[in-house]
Amino acid sequence: MNAVKRIYQRDRHIFRLIVMIVAWMIFMAITRFDKFYTVVNFQTMAGQFPEFGLMSLGAMLCMITGGIDLSSVGIANVTSILLALFMNAQAAKSESGDISVAMIALVFVMAVCIGLVCGSINGLLISKVKIPPILATLGINQLLTGVCMVVTGGNAVSGLPAAYSASINNKILKVVPGKRGTMQGLIPVQLLFFVVAALLVWFLLMRTSYGKKLYMMGTSENVARFSGVKVDRMLIKTYALSGMLAAMGGMIMLANYNSARSDYGNVYTLQCILIVVLGGVDPKGGRGKISGVLLAIVLLRLLETGINRFPQISSYYITLIWGAVLLLVMVLNYFEDHPIVKRK
Amino acid sequence: MDLKKTVRKLTGRSEFYILLVFIALCLLIEVRSHQFFTPNNIVDLLSALVVPGIFAIGEFMVIVSGGFDVSFPALASLTGFAVTKLLLNMDYQGGVWLPILMTLAIGGLLGAFNGLFIGYFELPAMIVTLGSSSVFKGFMQGTLNSKQLATIPVGMRNFGTSALFVAQNKQSGLTSRMPTTFIALVVVLVLAWFLLNRTMFGRGIYASGGNAVSAHRAGFNVKRTRFLMFVFVGMISALAGMCRVCMMQQMHPTNMLGMEMNIIAGVVLGGTAIVGGSGTLFGCMLGTALIVVVENSMILIGIPTVWKDVFVGALIVLGTGLSAMQVTRAQKASLRNVRKEAAK
Amino acid sequence: MSDYLLKAVDINKSFAGVKALQGVSLEIKPGEIHCLAGENGCGKSTLIKVISGVYQPDSGYIEFDGKRYSQITPLGAIAMGIQVIYQDFSIFPNLTVMENLAFNTELAAGHKLVNRKRMRKIAEEALSKINFDMELDRLVGSLTVAEKQMVAICRALMFNAKLIIMDEPTTALTKKEVSALFEIILKLKAQGIAILFVSHKLNEVFEISERFTIFRSGKLIVTGDTRELDDKKFSFYMTGREFENEKFKPSFESQGNVLEVKNLSLTGAFEDISFGLRRGEILGITGLLDSGRTELALALFGIRQATGGQILKDGSAVTIKSPRDAIACGIGFVPEDRLSEGLFLPRSIGDNIIISEIDRLTKGPSVLDRKACQAEIDKWVRELAIATPDPNNASSTLSGGNQQRIVLAKWLACKPDILILNGPTVGVDIGSKHDIHKILQRLADQGMAVIIISDDLPEVLENCSDLIVMKGGRIVATLDPGETDENTVLSHMM
């Protein structure tokens, strides 16, 4: 009980998110226990959320600077399309018609590079040309989506080498009993990518001078400049980092859909912002924890999957519930800042 | 002397540069295609401007008041679907007045929902509308179980197909009809201009976008102003959605979604300050028209439509980049001027 | 009819158990210029808000024009003839002068539609009240601070004001503008309008007001005739402490200049600035607000880039293009505006102290050494006696003086050879001001070179070993503070 109280006092926002998750888990346990609490169900969730989870991590970093990144989806799609074409070309060249593991590793290195370049362009436009982040990233998103359209003509790139999906859209740690005595994997590979990225971001924010400077800069860019923080370089780094995370998200999307297209995941743009704000990151910058963002991701995923377990309820209700949760959290925060005082 | 002053005043405003870009673009297309300044092309463009134009007016007001609205496509879709569906169920055979009245009523109600959170709870508009956009979408697709409606009531159909006049290209013989819905754009434009420039309510929108605390001290009811403004924005956004349904002769619940970003880009291109408080309706319409022209004139100069997003994206980046650099220069110049005056 | 226009009697006001005002009273005669002084947080602003109806007092009452009120609403206060001119002037930078002047009147009259003719008339009338001339269609954002203030004053006059409260009106004004403002105030007085002038600047209290009232910690300390007030008494009333000011005498022996500036210029700001600075010296640079002193400081620290000339550190030329370069050269800079340049207010005291030297507090490439960080924070909190129970608290919880110590600590932690301070004691209470001067003198004695940029003449005369006076972007005099006085310096400045 004391532990609960401590969490409440330390951060009410995090506390509320935890309460909502627990309440929803209990509700699902009561109503749909056997359909919800299955290994497969949790595996599916864990394999899917890294797509937008990775983008949300990047969006969080940008929002801590007081900016916003609306280009994640464009970066993700341009990465996945270009690399899907690349892998297809490589597979066609090879005798087996497939690609090697080393090639997959190379592809991921290339993905990171594409993300780095796109993100750095965002950063340059914001820090050097001084375009407001919302417009710079919006324009770059449109530009990249356009590039995708030009490259693909609006069609999906499919027929990927089997090895790619087989290695990324897979599960490791073979401990789950499957059919006919075989053992199946427990942990989805996509989740590993996300966990590594989340740990990395956590480490950057909490344990490095970059993180400290990022929060300070988000609080006041001007004071940071007067304190000797290289603000321009910090901005470029941050948007580049966000670009790299988005590119990784694109690679996960490529594995999950086994194809790439210019309009995949376009709901994620606003969804990532929603997650980040729901996670308690201040849109004005300077405030926000990765724990809040992780909880928000988990909460949204649990809500969506949970509702899908009720066949009579349209899955479209999920967006309604997301929006309602966001507004509810905001209003609760409002009343925390403006306590209702009884007037005489 | 007066002329000099006027010129300086003109060149100091970003609308002026957008106007130059706009004229240059039109001339370029004309030189390449000889088809731009033909009656039917101009009518086609004006017809394409109706819906984005009305949306842009609403977005313009919100940005001037110091926020962003990303909910209007969802709001317009929900209203459009609800009204069309209801009238179809009633087997409504009357004119267009009832649908329009219903649209305005529902749109105003949904706008009030936004206004409640933004005006009275003082929550940031961008985040609230992000949430409410989710709620509206979820309500439409979940609760109302929206599907594409292939037919619309006869009154709406007549309204959408009727023409003010028909323009003909003498060379090619192609004709284009000027839709009656264009009147809606003109009416909304005049009304918005009157509200913003000729009523204390409108000046209150500018004042609170400039400095909300001062506006309150001066005696503006900032909360009520914002609330009423969102009601109005909801009404005109819904009207734009209704125009689109009528013009397309069918109700497609999701094809307006995702328009918000281009509309914001158009408004900001037109010189509206994203921090609020300044901008003109003229600039707003000019920026929107610029995007509409780019989107619709690619064919004329022989560029495949897949390049559309690339050009719009580049336009956003270039346009905002130029005006950002202009602002930086102006700030430096004004600093120098102040010094000069002080030195006297 | 009583003798007093305003009588605030025995006002009490608490916020969440903290007593902001304890039984204070204030009396103002019609047409009087009254100065209300006190350190930050003494209750000045709370009382203003009570008088203007923003806050309701817990007990006590207000008598205005012979009528007694136990409660005032903001609109009621305006109707009674009370106008407040806030520090930020409450203006709309994005709108025209005309609209700024006319909105209040139009709204008060309940007009729903904009009538430009009527608004123009109102605006012209407002300007004519103090015979002020200004283009009505200009955007207020493009005006100078002083002009903005005039707009605010003219607007206040539209409501048949009997009492105008000005909250620290001179903070951002040049000397010339202050005298212009004082002329206006005298003009208003001649029209029978009483002025309540809130300030903690001593010379202003002397110059303009007839009577004064001083608050300390929510209590009334003294009220009386300005003629009976002097320097010493004023400090004592404000702080409850007595100060013995010591003149600085450099004691650190050193050879050669640690910093030398040769013909430094920045187009449009300053030209041909040359001076040298040795360790252990405190160099004062003074001048009016528009003399280029601030730009010089910014150029030395790399925020602005000099367009000509040379900076030499320990005899060798250096280029300073960014604050990072300056820090690498061993230069620290305490900026002018603490709130927007010096301090991350919502962040912890500790974070504020270590931000500038953070790249040194790492092990590995950029991994923070948290033990070293904590040690550094504890050291500076102790060393500069920053009054806080916990360095993890937000900086905004501290008083102005303690906040300034944090900024100082931030730079001392970088172990600079040269410390530049631009207005080191602006907005700092007298007690802390004294302590900060002590610290600076001690630093110089330990071998640091210090530059104080300030227009607080007693401050530079007392603490500096050399004094440069700037005017119109150039050095006009180099003085020995020991052999000059305020009037001489002033005559060079003007």
pLDDT tens for B52-82 read 999 999 999 999 999 889 999 999 999 999 9
Domains and CATH numbers, chain B: 13-343 (1.10.3470)
> How many folded domains does chain A comprise?
1
Q: Do the beta carbons of residue C376 and residue C369 sit within 8 Å? A: no
Across the interface, of C90, C114, C174, the residue whose CB is closest to B199 is C114
Which positions in chain C touch B12 (Cβ < 8 Å)? Answer: none
- For residue A153, is it within any domain? yes
Q: Which chains touch A (3 or more CB pairs under 8 A)?
A: B, C
Mean pLDDT of B260-284: 88
Q: Do the beta carbons of residue C405 and residue C381 sit within 8 Å? A: no
> How many folded domains does chain C comprise?
2
Mean pLDDT of B173-201: 93
Which pTM does this prediction carry? 0.86
- Residue C213: φ, ψ to 5°: -135, 135
Kindly state whether residues C295 and C228 are assigned to the same domain: no
Mark A93-104 as b/e (b = at least 16 C-beta within 10 Å).
eeeeebbeeebb
- For residue C246, is it within any domain? no
Q: Compute the distance between CA of residue C161 and CA of residue C82 in angstroms, rounded to an integer.
A: 6
Q: Which residues contact A159 (CB under 8 A, 6 or more apart)?
A: A88
- For residue C265, is it within any domain? yes
Which ranges of C384-451 does DSSP label H, i.e. alpha helix? Answer: 400-412, 430-445
Across the interface, of A215, A226, A286, the residue whose CB is closest to C335 is A226
Kindly state whether residues C156 and C64 are assigned to the same domain: yes
Judging by DSSP bridges, how do beta strands C474-479 and A183-188 pair with one another?
unpaired
Across the interface, of B198, B210, B336, the residue whose CB is closest to C92 is B210
Cβ atoms within 10 Å of B305's Cβ, excluding its own = 12
pLDDT at residue B244, as a whole number = 94
Kindly state whether residues C143 and C37 are assigned to the same domain: yes
- The two structure tokens encoding residue C287: 């001048």
pLDDT at residue B71, as a whole number = 94
pLDDT of B1 over the 50 cut: no
- For residue A342, is it within any domain? no
Contact A125 B313 (CB under 8 A): no
Q: What percent of chain B has pLDDT over 90?
A: 49
Kindly state whether residues C476 and C387 are assigned to the same domain: yes
- For residue C248, is it within any domain? no
> Containing domain of residue C59, as a range?
6-239
- The two structure tokens encoding residue B209: 């976008």
Distance spanning both ends of chain B, measured CA to CA = 22
Which residue, C176, C205, C239, sits at the end of a domain? C239
- For residue A275, is it within any domain? yes
- pLDDT tens-digit map of B230-240: 999 999 999 99
Kindly state whether residues C218 and C299 are assigned to the same domain: no
Q: Compute the distance between CA of residue C317 and CA of residue C304 in angstroms, rounded to an integer.
A: 18
- Closest-CA distance of chain C to residue A296, Å: 25
Q: Do the beta carbons of residue A297 and residue A56 sit within 8 Å? A: yes
Kindly state whether residues C224 and C344 are assigned to the same domain: no
Kindly state whether residues C286 and C424 are assigned to the same domain: yes
- Residue B12: φ, ψ to 5°: -80, -10
Judging by DSSP bridges, how do beta strands C449-453 and C418-422 pair with one another?
parallel
Residues of chain B in Cβ contact (below 8 Å) with chain C: 197-203, 206-207, 209-211, 213-215, 217-220, 273, 277-278, 334-336, 338-343
pLDDT at residue A342, as a whole number = 39
Which residue, C239, C270, C298, sits at the end of a domain? C239
- Reference B191, options B58, B46, B50; nearest CA is B58
How is C214-252 classified by DSSP, letter by letter?
Answer: EEETTEEEEEEEGGG--HHHHHHHHHS----PPPP----
Contact C93 B207 (CB under 8 A): no
C 111-140 residues with CB < 8 A to B: 111-114
Mean pLDDT score of chain B: 88
Question: Which residue matches tokens 């009884």?
Answer: A342
pLDDT at residue A315, as a whole number = 77
Kindly state whether residues C311 and C403 are assigned to the same domain: yes
Mean pLDDT by 10 residues, chain C (494 residues): 80 81 90 85 84 87 87 83 85 90 87 90 88 86 84 86 87 78 88 87 80 87 85 80 75 84 89 92 88 90 90 91 91 87 90 90 85 92 87 84 89 92 81 86 91 88 91 90 85 83
Of A191-200, B295-304, C189-198, the poorest mean pLDDT is in B295-304
Given pLDDT bands bounded at 50, 70 and 90, which one contains residue A109?
Answer: very high
Taking phi over 0 as left and psi of -120 to 50 as alpha, with beta for the rest, B34 belongs to left
Given pLDDT bands bounded at 50, 70 and 90, which one contains residue A180?
Answer: low
In this predicted model, which residue has the larger pLDDT, A183 or A98? A98
In this predicted model, which residue has the larger pLDDT, C175 or A344? C175
- Residue B3: φ, ψ to 5°: -65, -45
Q: Compute the distance between CA of residue C320 and CA of residue B177 in angstroms, rounded to an integer.
A: 65
Q: Which residues contact B285 (CB under 8 A, 6 or more apart)?
A: B53, B56, B57, B189, B270
Q: Which of A134, A141, A145, A318 to mutate to test binding with chain B, by most B CBs within 10 Å of its CB?
A: A134
Given pLDDT bands bounded at 50, 70 and 90, which one contains residue A167?
Answer: confident
Kindly state whether residues C376 and C451 are assigned to the same domain: yes
Report which DSSP code applies to A343: P
- For residue A343, is it within any domain? no
- Closest-CA distance of chain A to residue B53, Å: 19
pLDDT at residue A309, as a whole number = 85
Q: What is the crossing angle of helices B72-90 and B222-248, to 10°?
A: 60
Kindly state whether residues C87 and C202 are assigned to the same domain: yes
Q: Which of C355, C360, C420 to mutate to test binding with chain A, by most A CBs within 10 Å of its CB?
A: C355
Which residue, C239, C271, C299, sits at the end of a domain? C239
- The two structure tokens encoding residue B307: 């390049």
pLDDT at residue B49, as a whole number = 95
- Reference A123, options A287, A220, A234, A246; nearest CA is A234
Kindly state whether residues C388 and C355 are assigned to the same domain: yes
> Containing domain of residue A146, as a range?
2-337
- The two structure tokens encoding residue B68: 């962003």
Contact B210 C90 (CB under 8 A): no
* CATH number for position C147: 3.40.50.300
- For residue A344, is it within any domain? no
- Closest-CA distance of chain B to residue C11, Å: 24
Of A145-149, A320-324, B83-87, the poorest mean pLDDT is in A320-324
Which positions in chain A touch B265 (Cβ < 8 Å)? Answer: 135, 138-139, 142
* CATH number for position A324: 1.10.3470
pLDDT at residue B334, as a whole number = 58
pLDDT of A16 over the 90 cut: no
pLDDT of A340 over the 70 cut: no
- The two structure tokens encoding residue C462: 């007392």
Mean pLDDT of A303-316: 84
pLDDT at residue A77, as a whole number = 95
Which positions in chain B touch C107 (Cβ < 8 Å)? Answer: 200, 218-220
A 171-200 residues with CB < 8 A to B: none
pLDDT at residue A157, as a whole number = 92
Kindly state whether residues C154 and C214 are assigned to the same domain: yes
How many DSSP H helices and E strands does chain C contain? 16, 22
- Residue A163: φ, ψ to 5°: -60, -30
Give the residue from chain A lying closest to B308, CA to CA: A146
Give the residue from chain C lying closest to A341, CA to CA: C16
Mean pLDDT of A274-281: 90
Q: Compute the distance between CA of residue C374 and CA of residue C376 in angstroms, rounded to an integer.
A: 5
Whether chain C has a CB inside 8 Å of the CB on A223: the answer is yes
pLDDT at residue C417, as a whole number = 92
pLDDT at residue A181, as a whole number = 66
